[in-house]
Chain A
Amino acid sequence: MSSPFVDERLDNGLRVVVEVMPDVRSAACGFLVRTGSRDEEPELAGVSHFLEHMCFKGTYRRSWREINIEFDEMGSTYNAFTAKDRTFYYGWVRAGDIERQMELLADMMRSAIPPNEFDMEKNVILEEIAMSSDQIENLAYHLLHETCYRGEPMAWPVLGYERTIRELSRDRMHEYFTRRYAPDNMTFIAAGRVEAGRVVEAVRRLTAEWQPSGADRRDGRRAPRFHPASASRPVERFHQELVLMAFEAAPATDEQDEDAEALAAILGGDNSRFYWNIVQAGIAPRATVLREDHQDCGLLVLYGLCEADRIERLADAMRREAEEVTREGVRPQELQRVKNKRRTSLAAEAEAPYYRLVQIMEDVDYYGRPMTIEERLARVDRVTVDSIAAYLRRFPITGPGVLIGVGPRAWPPAESP
Chain B
Amino acid sequence: MSQLVHRHLDCGVEFAAAVLPGRPTAALEIRILAGSAHEPADKLGLARLIEETVDKGTARRDGRALLDAFDAIGAQRTSGTGRDLTGFSCLVLPEFLLPAIDLHAEMIRTPTFPEEACRVAVELAIQELSSLEDDPQALAGKLITRQAYGRYLGRHPLGERETLATITRADIETHWRATFSAGRMLLCVAGNVDPAAVADHVERAFEGFGSSGSSGREPMPLEFMPARRHVHKELEQEQIGICFPGVPVSSDEHPVERVMLGVLSGGMSGRLFTEVREKQGLVYWVQAWHEHPRGSGMIHLGASTTPERCDRTFETLLREVDRLAEDLTEAEVQRAIAAIVARTETRGDITRAHAAELVADLVHHGRPIPMEERLARIQAVTPADVRAYLAAHPRDRLSVLTLGPRELEKGR
Contact = CB atoms under 8 A, between A and B. Distances in A.
A284 interface: yes
Interface stretch (B119-127, B195-203, B251-259): B119-127
B363 to A, nearest CB: 24
A119 to B, nearest CB: 8
- Main secondary structure, interface of B, reads mixed
Interface string B257-270: 00000000011111
Interface string A114-147: 0000011111111110110111100000000000
B345 A306 contact: no
A235 to B, nearest CB: 9
A351 B25 contact: yes
B399 interface: no
Given A131-B236, A282-B120, A123 B342 contact: no
A223 interface: no
Contacts of B103: none
A24 interface: yes
Interface stretch (B32-40, B68-76, B168-176): B68-76
A353 to B, nearest CB: 7
A72 B266 contact: yes
Contact of A276 (B64, B133, B235, B270): B64
Nearest to B133: A239
Nearest to B305: A127
Interface string B325-345: 000000000011011111101
A75 B130 contact: no
Nearest to A308: B130
* Most chain B CB atoms below 10 A, which of A77, A97, A130, A353: A130
A384 to B, nearest CB: 18
B120 A130 contact: no
A93 B343 CA distance: 8
Contacts of B92: 344
A26 interface: yes
A77 B350 contact: no
A271 B67 contact: yes
A344 B26 CA distance: 10
Given A93-B346, A120-B281, A240 B134 contact: yes
Given A65-B274, A128-B284, A282-B119, A134 B338 contact: no
Contact of A130 (B73, B119, B127, B237): B237
B284 A124 contact: yes
Given A25-B348, A306-B127, A347-B93, A133 B234 contact: no
Contact of B346 (A26, A68, A127, A307): A26
A56 B269 CA distance: 11
Interface in A327-384: 333, 336-337, 340-345, 347-348, 350-353
A340 B72 contact: yes
A134 B235 contact: yes
Contacts of A127: 237, 281-284, 304-306
Contacts of A134: 136, 235-237
Contacts of A305: 131
Contact of A68 (B133, B273, B304): B273
Contacts of B135: 135
A24 B117 CA distance: 43
A239 B74 contact: no
A390 interface: no
A69 B335 contact: yes
Contact of A75 (B233, B338, B349, B352): B338
Given A337-B72, A344-B75, A351 B350 contact: yes
Contact of A26 (B119, B234, B284, B345): B345
B268 to A, nearest CB: 4
Interface in B1-40: 22-25
B131 A340 contact: no
A327 to B, nearest CB: 21
B269 A68 contact: yes
B338 to A, nearest CB: 6
Contacts of B136: 134-135
A25 B349 CA distance: 7
Contact of A1 (B24, B71, B273, B285): B24
B351 interface: yes
Contact of B268 (A23, A56, A281): A56
28 contacts: A23-B22, A25-B346, A26-B345, A26-B346, A68-B267, A75-B346, A94-B342, A123-B281, A125-B284, A126-B306, A127-B305, A128-B284, A131-B237, A131-B285, A134-B136, A271-B70, A305-B131, A336-B72, A337-B68, A337-B72, A343-B74, A344-B74, A344-B76, A344-B91, A348-B350, A351-B24, A351-B25, A351-B351
Given A271-B70, A341-B75, A348-B351, 10 more contacts: A74-B338, A123-B281, A127-B237, A127-B283, A131-B237, A240-B127, A284-B127, A307-B127, A340-B71, A350-B24
